[in-house]
């Protein structure tokens, strides 16, 4: 290994990345859009839980107490037939006719309709045993806080897979690798330079997005920053090594693109980035366990939300590094310049 | 002169085709050796094996009398036929990048001057013209001050002026004592630059030698042609001439004697045409098809 040669290739590749304004913009823009989009979409902290249609005047003095319950969105309806159709389609959970006072419509296949009906027919609290009332306070966990570690991890995944895998295939196809092969640069030096360059890029972009979203969204990291950095570093190494393995011999950009999509989409869906896998199909959970992104997201979320420290996520860091080292070995052995 | 590189019984087979079929030759130090042949003849495959880019199925290659070792790549320079450089880098950065791969360097400023890159150093490599790009690729091939320079069809796609300019660069390299091994489609290029050529077809060398010596072996020195209607009596041809269509043609090694014969017969020489055979003619004769045909 010649450090001068590694540094020269690292410099050239990193320069190629940051001078490609379109690619750089996309790398920074995408995670911002995702995080800020989720923050905006789920910005209402107290969304109503149920929707009830009302026929008649809710402000009338004889209106039942039910229409004053909190966290139910009461929506005035003009057309009885149209409103009943909405119940049929689960667009509203229940329809109450205040004009007759005794009539309501509920869809028996609607779970929310069932709950609202129980609320309408009477509160069970009257028969509940007396219990002392305890008051707690604290900010609700916003969806954006929960989703942020996943969005950052997904960005690392895309940047690692395509920034290494696809780029090497492009180099192979257009003859850059052939030209480099004609020099004393060896495959190990070339691959190490690609890995280091991509780690530098991924690290910088992730840090930038993290700081900017921190300023804009005011989230807190309850656990260890060092552990968080190590989780992302180990995750990036694992994902870069996947990118290298895919690109070791492939000559076609289209095939590389297909293979990278084949790997990234299951991770996007099954790694718990957007929703918790708790309670989902057991097979989906088992498959998720095999995906590096699952462990990366899980460890990052435990650090940021639950206050986990380095020791708590040591297993995930070791696992991700293990995947990285194993696949790097395979990629280096399988690598072909042409 | 001692051989810098020797090739013996080289064989390379791809599925369904023997691209290189028992090729042997040697290149003397300080000379320019040209591999000539149509597309698919096997010349680029031969060159790639010698460059160390691909492996031969059989055969022996010796550099300075010994098998090639790990240092070989530091001692050669290559200009590929089709190659790309990384995007978003200037000419200067490309030179710096490739320069950093080698322990030995040709003085960079001198190289920039030789390859006339001085005004282009800050230009993005993607924005170079064909000729400028070939000059940069040549400079990259020479960065390590190589003993042996490989040029694979270096002027394909260049306009005639750029091609001539490039030839001057190669002449300059030769005068600096470098050994050049090149492939080309252009016979004029081979005549201009090569001290020795090997004509390849279907993976085999079908003729090899100095260009003029080969032409001398296969052709008389000149063809003298005169229209039949300029003869006083078209049915009576001068000595040494034969009728070919509307012309009387003489293939001769002694042009003076032929011209004297025409003078003796008082034949007007206004429409006289004298031509010398070219490597194109040689290739046509050897293979039955032109060099530029695929």
Q: Which A positions 185-224 lie with beta carbon below 8 A of chain B? A: 185
CB contact under 8 A, B96 and A19: no
Of residues B83 and B202, the one with the higher pLDDT is B202
CB contact under 8 A, B87 and A12: no
Strand partners, A75: A53
Chain A CB contacts of B76 under 8 Å are: 182
> Distance (Å, rounded) from C-alpha A109 to C-alpha A119?
17
* Banded model confidence at residue A123, pLDDT cuts 50, 70, 90: very low
Q: What pLDDT shows up at residue A42?
A: 65
* Banded model confidence at residue A140, pLDDT cuts 50, 70, 90: low
Residue B31 pLDDT > 60 = yes
Q: Which A positions 4-23 lie with beta carbon below 8 A of chain B? A: 4-5, 7-9, 11-13, 15-16, 19-20
Minimum-distance CB partner of A184 among B54, B78, B102: B102
Enter the tokens of residue A293: 């992104």
Instruction: Looking at A20-130, list the stretches that DSSP marks H as alpha helix, in order from N- to C-terminal side.
Output: 21-41, 80-88, 111-121
Q: For A2, which residue in chain B has the nearest alpha carbon?
A: B101
Residue B39 pLDDT > 90 = no
Q: What pLDDT shows up at residue B172?
A: 86
Chain B CB contacts of A193 under 8 Å are: none
Task: Looking at the complex, report in whole angstroms how far the Cα of residue A282 sits from the nearest Cα belonging to chain B.
Answer: 46
Of residues A30 and A204, the one with the higher pLDDT is A204
For chains A and B, CB pairs below 8 A equal 63
- Within 10 A of A241 (CB to CB), how many other CB atoms are there? 27
Q: What pLDDT shows up at residue A253?
A: 87
Enter the tokens of residue B72: 């070989």
Using a CB–CB cutoff of 8 Å, tell me whether A269 touches chain B.
Answer: no
Quick: pLDDT tens for A207-260: 998 898 888 887 778 889 999 999 999 999 999 999 999 998 888 888 999 999
Lowest-confidence segment of A42-51, A56-65, A313-322 by average pLDDT: A42-51
CB contact under 8 A, B84 and A174: yes
ipTM for the whole complex? 0.77
Q: What pLDDT shows up at residue B129?
A: 87
> Distance (Å, rounded) from C-alpha B117 to C-alpha B164?
17
Minimum-distance CB partner of B101 among A176, A184, A338: A184
Residue in A274, A265, A128, A149 with CA at minimum distance from that of residue A214: A149
Task: Looking at the complex, report in whole angstroms how far the Cα of residue A10 sits from the nearest Cα belonging to chain B.
Answer: 10
Minimum-distance CB partner of A8 among B53, B84, B97: B97
Tokens 């003076």 found at:
B256
Q: What pLDDT shows up at residue A86?
A: 84
Chain B CB contacts of A23 under 8 Å are: none
CB A142 within 8 A of CB A42: yes
* Banded model confidence at residue A291, pLDDT cuts 50, 70, 90: very high
Q: What pLDDT shows up at residue B279?
A: 76
CB B83 within 8 A of CB A173: no
> Distance (Å, rounded) from C-alpha A250 to C-alpha A68?
65
pLDDT-above-90 percentage for chain A: 33
Minimum-distance CB partner of A184 among B74, B83, B85: B74
Strand partners, B21: B11
- Predicted TM-score (pTM) of this structure: 0.76
Using a CB–CB cutoff of 8 Å, tell me whether A175 touches chain B.
Answer: yes
Task: Looking at the complex, report in whole angstroms how far the Cα of residue B158 sits from the nearest Cα belonging to chain A.
Answer: 20
Chain A CB contacts of B124 under 8 Å are: none
* Banded model confidence at residue A316, pLDDT cuts 50, 70, 90: very high
Write down how long chain A is. 338
Q: What pLDDT shows up at residue A126?
A: 36
Chain B CB contacts of A176 under 8 Å are: 83-86
CB contact under 8 A, A12 and B93: yes
Q: For A168, which residue in chain B has the nearest alpha carbon?
A: B86
> Distance (Å, rounded) from C-alpha A250 to C-alpha A262?
15
Residue A276 pLDDT > 60 = yes
Residue A101 pLDDT > 70 = no
Q: What pLDDT shows up at residue A235?
A: 96
Residue B290 pLDDT > 90 = no
Enter the tokens of residue A9: 């290739």
Q: What pLDDT shows up at residue B28?
A: 93
> Distance (Å, rounded) from C-alpha B63 to C-alpha A1?
25
Residue B184 pLDDT > 90 = no
CB contact under 8 A, B101 and A183: yes
Q: What is the mean pLDDT of chain A?
A: 85
Residue A115 pLDDT > 70 = yes
CB contact under 8 A, B73 and A174: no
Residue in A277, A324, A323 with CA at minimum distance from that of residue A297: A277
Quick: pLDDT tens for B207-247: 899 888 888 888 777 888 888 888 887 678 888 888 888 88
CB A227 within 8 A of CB A313: yes
Write down how long chain B is. 294
Question: CA-based angle A296:A214:A35, to the nearest 5?
Answer: 65
Average pLDDT over residues A190-201: 93
Candidates A179, A187, A197, A201: best to mutate against B (most CBs of B within 10 A) is A179
Enter the tokens of residue B191: 């005549």
CB contact under 8 A, B82 and A12: no
Question: CA-based angle A101:A106:A111, to the nearest 5?
Answer: 135
Q: What pLDDT shows up at residue B293?
A: 47
Chain B CB contacts of A338 under 8 Å are: 53-54
Chain B CB contacts of A20 under 8 Å are: 87-88
Quick: pLDDT tens for B259-271: 888 888 888 878 8
Q: What pLDDT shows up at residue B292?
A: 46
Quick: pLDDT tens for A147-167: 889 989 998 999 999 989 889
Residue B174 pLDDT > 50 = yes
Using a CB–CB cutoff of 8 Å, tell me whether A336 touches chain B.
Answer: no
Instruction: Looking at chain A, list the stretches that DSSP marks H as alpha helix, in order from N- to C-terminal side.
Output: 3-19, 21-41, 80-88, 111-121, 143-160, 167-174, 176-181, 187-217, 225-247, 253-270, 282-289, 292-306, 314-334
Task: Looking at the complex, report in whole angstroms how far the Cα of residue B89 sits from the nearest Cα belonging to chain A.
Answer: 7
Task: Looking at the complex, report in whole angstroms how far the Cα of residue B104 sits from the nearest Cα belonging to chain A.
Answer: 12
Lowest-confidence segment of A20-29, B173-182, B282-291 by average pLDDT: B282-291
Chain A CB contacts of B97 under 8 Å are: 8-9, 11-12
* Banded model confidence at residue A321, pLDDT cuts 50, 70, 90: very high
Chain A CB contacts of B85 under 8 Å are: 176, 179
Candidates A168, A183, A187, A253: best to mutate against B (most CBs of B within 10 A) is A183
Q: What pLDDT shows up at residue B230?
A: 84
Q: What pLDDT shows up at residue A285?
A: 85
* Contact partners, residue B191, CB within 8 Å, separation at least 6: B211, B278, B279
Residue A128 pLDDT > 60 = no
């Amino acid at each position: 290994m010649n450090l001068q040669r590694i540094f020269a290739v690292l410099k050239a590749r990193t320069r190629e990345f940051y001078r490609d304004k379109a690619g750089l913009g996309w790398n920074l823009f995408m995670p911002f859009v995702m995080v800020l989009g989720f923050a905006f979409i789920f910005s209402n902290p107290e969304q109503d839980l149920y929707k009830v249609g009302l026929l008649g005047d809710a402000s009338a003095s004889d209106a039942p107490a039910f229409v004053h319950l909190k966290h139910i969105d009461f929506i005035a309806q003009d057309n009885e037939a149209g409103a009943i159709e909405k119940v049929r389609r689960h667009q509203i959970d229940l329809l109450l006719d205040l004009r007759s006072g005794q009539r309501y419509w509920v869809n028996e296949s609607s779970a929310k309709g069932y709950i609202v009906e129980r609320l309408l027919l009477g509160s069970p609290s009257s028969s509940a045993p007396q219990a002392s009332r305890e008051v707690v306070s604290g900010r609700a966990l916003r969806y954006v806080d929960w989703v942020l570690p996943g969005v950052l991890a997904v960005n690392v995944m895309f940047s690692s897979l395509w920034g290494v895998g696809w780029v090497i295939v492009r180099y192979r196809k257009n003859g850059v690798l052939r030209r480099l092969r004609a020099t004393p640069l060896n495959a190990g030096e070339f691959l190490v330079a690609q890995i280091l360059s991509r780690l530098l890029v991924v690290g910088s972009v992730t840090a930038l997005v993290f700081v900017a979203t921190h300023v804009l969204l005011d989230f807190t990291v309850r656990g260890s920053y060092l552990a968080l950095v190590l989780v992302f570093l180990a995750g990036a190494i694992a994902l870069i090594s996947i990118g290298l393995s895919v690109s070791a011999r492939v000559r076609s950009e289209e095939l590389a693109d297909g293979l990278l999509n084949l790997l990234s989409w299951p991770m996007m869906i099954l790694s718990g980035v957007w929703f918790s896998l708790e309670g989902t199909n057991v097979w989906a959970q088992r498959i998720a366990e095999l995906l590096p992104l699952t462990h990366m997201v899980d460890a990052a979320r435990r650090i940021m939300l639950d206050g986990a420290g380095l020791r708590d996520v040591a297993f995930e860091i070791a696992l991700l590094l293990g995947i990285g080292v194993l696949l790097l070995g395979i990629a280096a052995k399988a690598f072909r310049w042409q | 002169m001692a051989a810098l590189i020797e090739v013996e019984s080289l064989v390379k087979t791809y599925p369904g085709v023997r691209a290189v079929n028992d090729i042997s030759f040697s290149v003397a130090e300080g000379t320019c050796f040209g591999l000539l042949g149509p597309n698919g003849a096997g010349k680029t495959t031969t060159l790639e094996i010698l460059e160390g880019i691909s492996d031969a199925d059989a055969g022996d290659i010796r550099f300075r009398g010994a098998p090639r070792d790990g240092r070989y790549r530091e001692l050669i320079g290559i200009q590929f036929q089709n190659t790309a450089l990384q995007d978003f880098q200037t000419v200067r950065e490309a030179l710096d990048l490739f320069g950093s791969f080698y322990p030995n360097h040709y003085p960079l400023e001198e190289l920039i001057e030789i390859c006339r890159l001085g005004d282009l150093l800050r230009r993005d490599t993607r924005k170079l013209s064909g000729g400028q790009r070939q000059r940069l690729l040549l400079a990259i091939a020479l960065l390590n001050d190589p003993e042996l320079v490989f040029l694979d069809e270096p002027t394909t796609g260049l306009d005639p002026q750029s091609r001539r300019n490039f030839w001057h660069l190669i002449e300059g390299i030769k005068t600096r004592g470098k050994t050049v091994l090149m492939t080309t489609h252009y016979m004029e290029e081979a005549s201009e630059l090569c001290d020795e050529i090997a004509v390849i077809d279907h993976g085999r060398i079908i003729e090899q030698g100095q260009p003029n010596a080969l032409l001398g072996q296969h052709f008389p020195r000149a063809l003298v042609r005169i229209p039949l209607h300029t003869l006083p009596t078209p049915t009576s041809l001068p000595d040494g001439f034969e009728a070919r269509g509307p012309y009387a043609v003489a293939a001769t090694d002694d042009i003076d004697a032929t011209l004297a014969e025409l003078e003796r017969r008082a034949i007007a020489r206004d429409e006289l045409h004298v031509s010398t055979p070219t490597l194109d003619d040689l290739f046509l004769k050897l293979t039955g098809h032109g060099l530029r045909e695929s």
